[in-house]
Structure 1
Amino acid sequence: MPRILLAEDDPAVRSFVESALTHRGHEVAAVEDGLQALETLGSRQDFDLLITDIVMPGLDGIGLALRVARDLPDLPILLMTGYSAEKQRAHNLDELIARVVVKPFSLKEICDAAEESLVG
């Protein structure tokens, strides 16, 4: 069963994505921001995918992606955003991330993107 770390500051979106991925058979650890994601990765580095929002307090998704790409280069990263300017920032990281999913998205869209990222 693939293990996914989800970092999303909006509780409704976090719950929505966590439920959708769990329903598809994935084991999901959900955290509120990039700092908690780093802490979780530091204590358990056996994740198969990182899904993170770009705009979050503390450490945003771009900063998180850069640190994870440096420290865990084999961990695929999927970014989520509802902001077009942030989507452009993410495209500057094409070599480091698997994909950017634009909010609002459907359950099928986020699950399909996660599963595509898992298979590479």
Structure 2
Amino acid sequence: MSGIPFEWNRITIYPKIDLVDKQTTFGLVWHPAQAEEILQALYGEWQVKDVNFDTIICAKNLKGFSLLTQCFAYSRICVLWQQNRWVKLKPLIEQIRRFHPSDALLDKLEKQLHMELQNEQK
């Protein structure tokens, strides 16, 4: 984002992307030559379906956990919490925990989330 310090931006790292042209029913389009490598960088185990994976916050190719990414994460947590979407919340909180292991707010969120998940299973 322009006008803010570079390190505040959400930064992702991809392997070199080479494009090749590919004929489709819609005509000639550019296509990544090594699509699987790009998917691996972004998702990790991309062949395993994970409906709770949040690309913006949990991308495997994030370089750090910038201020912008933190804003996205906490905003999504608030929305999902209001919607009682506990299963989708769990990986977001786990991802933040990876970058902020001693965050007191996360301690409280994880404790409450654990209780909510237990109540949902009853």
Same fold (TM over 0.5): no
Structure with greater strand share of residues: 1
**What TM-score comes out, normalization by structure 2 length?**
0.34
Greater Rg by CA: 2
Scaled by the length of structure 1, what TM-score is found?
Answer: 0.35
